[in-house]
């Protein structure tokens, strides 16, 4: 422990000294990250933290806002044809790459053709063609309004750099990566993103601190200006008073998944009974001191209008109703409902969650046995293999409602709950073919209502996380996907 403290303080002293030398104008922002970049090549990045960092370097044709809606970006406008099977993107003519070349349709075609070799996400794309220097046509193999969300997360890079791109069009350019220490970005003053005025910060240091204790010490000492994904329960009153703390749901769907392929969860009454048996507010208070968003359907309210707010408290806590449903399904004191829940052993919060759920279920005569399982086995046997009765899982956030909801569909690669419902599949299909935002919202609301009515799972919560920053930092917002949009930040 003593050695850990010495190393930790040593790291912070290096960071503090570095910051003291380079912050003469307060135009250097220091952001803590916990992950080493596995690469600086955008084609090979997989870590959400690293992608969030390089979101300042590379741009997509479209951009997404805090509610998950897409807007023009490198493309100043777009049109959809043939029920969302053909798209035209009209590019801005003033976009410059960091190496000095102008963006053209040739770069977009090269980008999409290259990504198709690296990711199955582009299997939907049938062809990409430059119609002139600033118009791109993309044809899909089938209709998909959700394709625009892929467009909004596909960075465009220069065709002249082949499959080793490093020049983006973003507000900041990549300068260096010192392994184990820092990733440095500097403002690119010729970026189209500065047309209304230069971004406030001239440079950004993403400082690598792998231990949460080190990040907290850096925030306390002033060596770190911003850190996200902080556990709110780790913050004491002194930190809350001295710093700016923003609590937000993290776009995570935590649920008790029930396997519809096997007993007892092939009986809807049993699934409904479990939903009535759990006091979600008490569960959230015990786990997070109340700092989580209750969920009643299969996605987080982070996605704004796409989330069906009318489903709030769809299954109110009602132990008597739970017992009635269990008795109707043939379970009673002499024949209690018993089932096993598999919990990945590397998630302490899931194990604690299971213990509380088991206690609450016991009050209605249900016996839930907890079996901790090693992560690799859970992934292959439970999530992918479907060999389970029940499991606790946190489904990571996606940008689109479709990507959130298709996980409960027979169309998904895993179809891990075994849920089948023609109306649900039809709702998702209508969403993909919709030609207006309003049509899309209606279709996704219908799909979520079916998830609730069929008690597909016991949807629990989306835990809040804290973004902690210096008092005078302005402009940070929570987006559906993790990102640092430094161009929006400034000091008051």
Using one digit for the tens of pLDDT, what is the confidence trace for 238-289?
999 999 999 999 999 999 999 999 999 999 999 999 999 999 999 999 999 9
Length of the chain in terms of residues written = 492
Fold of the domain spanning 253-465: Dipeptide-binding Protein; domain 3 (3.10.105)
pLDDT of residue 20: 42
Name the CATH code of domain 59-161 (choices 3.30.70.980, 3.30.70.20, 3.40.190.10, 3.30.70.1110). Answer: 3.40.190.10
Q: Are strands 367-373 and 338-344 parallel, antiparallel or unpaired?
A: parallel
CATH 3.10.105.10 maps onto the chain at 253-465
Distance CA 383, CA 387 (A): 8
Which stretches in the chain have pLDDT values below 70? 1-25
Q: Is the peptide bond before 264 cis (omega within 30 degrees of 0)?
A: yes
Could you tell me where the beta strands, DSSP code E, fall in 380-452?
Answer: 390-395
Encode burial over 18-56: b for 16+ CB neighbours within 10 A, e otherwise: bbeeebeeeebbbbbbeeebeebbbbebebebbbbbbbb
pTM of the model as a whole = 0.86
pLDDT of residue 374: 95
pLDDT of residue 413: 75
Alpha-carbon distance values, 267 to 111, 115, 315, 324, 419 (Å): 48, 43, 17, 14, 12
**Region for residue 313 given its phi and psi (left: phi exceeds 0; alpha: psi -120 to 50; beta: otherwise):** left
Which superfamily, per CATH, for 20-56+170-243+470-491? Periplasmic binding protein-like II (3.40.190.10)
CATH 3.40.190.10 maps onto the chain at 20-56+170-243+470-491, 59-161
pLDDT of residue 23: 52
């Amino acid at each position: 422990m003593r050695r850990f403290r010495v190393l930790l303080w040593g790291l912070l002293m290096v960071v503090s000294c570095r910051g003291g030398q380079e912050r003469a104008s307060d135009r250097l922002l220091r952001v803590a990250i916990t992950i080493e970049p596995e690469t600086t090549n955008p084609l090979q990045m997989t870590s959400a933290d690293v992608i969030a960092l390089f979101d300042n370097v590379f741009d997509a044709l479209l951009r997404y806002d805090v509610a998950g809606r897409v807007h023009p970006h490198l493309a100043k406008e777009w049109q959809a044809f043939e029920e969302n099977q053909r798209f035209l993107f009209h590019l801005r003519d003033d976009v410059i790459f960091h190496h000095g070349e102008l963006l053209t349709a040739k770069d977009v075609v090269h980008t999409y053709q290259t990504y198709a070799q690296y990711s199955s996400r582009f299997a939907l794309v049938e062809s990409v063609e430059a119609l002139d220097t600033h118009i791109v046509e993309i044809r899909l193999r089938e209709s998909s309004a959700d394709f625009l969300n892929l467009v909004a997360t596909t960075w465009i890079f220069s065709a002249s750099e082949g499959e080793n791109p490093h020049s983006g069009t973003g507000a900041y350019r990549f300068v260096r990566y010192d392994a184990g220490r820092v990733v440095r970005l500097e403002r690119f003053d010729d970026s189209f993103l500065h047309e209304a005025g230069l971004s406030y910060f001239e440079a950004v240091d993403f400082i690598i601190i792998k231990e949460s204790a080190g990040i907290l010490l850096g925030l306390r000492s002033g060596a770190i200006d911003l850190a996200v994904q902080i556990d709110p329960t780790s913050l004491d009153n002194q930190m809350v008073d001295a710093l700016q703390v923003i609590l937000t749901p993290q776009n995570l769907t935590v649920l008790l998944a029930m396997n519809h392929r096997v007993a007892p969860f092939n009986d809807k009454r049993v699934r409904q009974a479990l939903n009535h048996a759990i006091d979600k507010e008490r569960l959230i208070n015990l786990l997070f001191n109340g700092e989580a968003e209750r969920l009643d359907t299969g996605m987080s309210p982070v996605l704004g209008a796409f989330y069906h707010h009318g489903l709030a408290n769809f299954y109110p806590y009602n132990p008597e109703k739970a017992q009635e449903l269990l008795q109707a399904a043939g379970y009673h004191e002499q024949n209690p409902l018993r089932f096993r829940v598999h919990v990945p052993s590397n998630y302490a919060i899931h194990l604690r969650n299971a213990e509380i759920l088991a206690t609450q279920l016991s009050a209605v005569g249900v016996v839930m046995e907890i079996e901790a399982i090693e992560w690799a086995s859970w992934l292959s046997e439970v999530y992918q293999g479907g060999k389970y009765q029940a499991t606790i899982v946190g489904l990571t956030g996606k940008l689109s409602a479709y990507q959130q909801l298709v996980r409960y569909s027979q169309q998904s690669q895993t179809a891990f709950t075994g849920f089948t419902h023609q109306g649900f599949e039809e709702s998702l299909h209508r969403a993909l073919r919709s030609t207006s935002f309003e049509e899309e919202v209606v279709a996704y609301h219908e799909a979520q209502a079916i998830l609730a009515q069929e008690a597909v799972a016991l949807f629990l919560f989306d835990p809040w996380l804290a973004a902690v920053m210096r008092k005078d930092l302005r402009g940070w917002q929570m987006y559906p996907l993790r990102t640092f949009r430094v161009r929006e930040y400034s000091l008051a």
